[in-house]
Copies of this chain bind each other. A is one copy, B any other.
Amino acid sequence: MTIKRHEPSKIYSKAVEANSFVFTAGIVADDTAQDVKGQTQQILKEIDRLLKLAGTDKSKVVSATIWLADIRTRDAMNEAWSAWTTGQNLPGRACIEAKLADPRMLVEIAVVAAK
């Protein structure tokens, strides 16, 4: 069994591979001046990058957890989400409201992918 840790910061790794799965951290947007749709687009682009680093891609995402700072922004988040999934390869998903590390962060997404 081998564990590969990608882009560790001081407190977490952005993605970790083990036993044919990849676990991302909860990813937030770099540019938090954007609205929830824009932040979601940034996050999903970053998740694409991390999955590629870990040898997989969005077609193999099996589970996603989405935390929204305001659950009423679910539709706006879903616009970016649906553009990303294109209705294909849809993971199991939970979407709930939670206060995030910084009030400017409007959405945070963690995924599990197979590889």
Chain A residues with CB under 8 Å of chain B are: 1, 3, 5, 8-16, 18-21, 23-26, 60, 62-65, 67, 71, 74, 78, 81-82, 85, 87, 89-101, 108, 110, 112, 114-115
Contacts and interface: CB of A to CB of B under 8 A. Distances in A.
Given A18-B114, A23-B62, A11 B90 contact: yes
A21 B98 CA distance: 27
Nearest to A7: B90
Contacts of A74: 101
A85 B11 CA distance: 8
A108 B65 CA distance: 12
Identical subunits present: 3
Given A8-B87, A13-B92, 13 more contacts: A1-B114, A3-B114, A11-B93, A13-B91, A13-B93, A18-B114, A23-B63, A23-B91, A23-B112, A26-B95, A67-B96, A97-B98, A97-B100
A112 B110 CA distance: 14
A72 to B, nearest CB: 9
